[in-house]
Amino acid sequence: MSIAVGQTAPDFTLLNQEKKEVKLSDFVGKRTSYLCGTPLDWSPTCTNEHACFVNEMKAFETLDAEVLGVSVDSVWSHKAYAEKMGIKYRC
């Protein structure tokens, strides 16, 4: 299923790198959410993408935006990757 830019994303619940449930609908009406879809945590493409988010987090905070990383990787992979990359947002 694909959605257009600006279209509301369907609700979902996933576990983050801390094994806590994150539900997209929890952010509705509170903060703008930016979904960062990445194919694999440890790939060069994802590493470059996440480095950009980490380096620009102040800009997202200024906009009161919540960055949410979404991937097919396991929770333990996300945790190790987040620690290595300095990722503070949920992924």
Residue among 36, 46, 52, 91 flagged as catalytic: 46
CA 88, CA 91: separation in Å to the nearest integer?
9
Long-range contacts of 45-49 (CB under 8 A, 24+ apart): 46/71, 47/85
Active site (annotated) includes residue 46: yes
CA 17, CA 82: separation in Å to the nearest integer?
7
Active site residues: 46
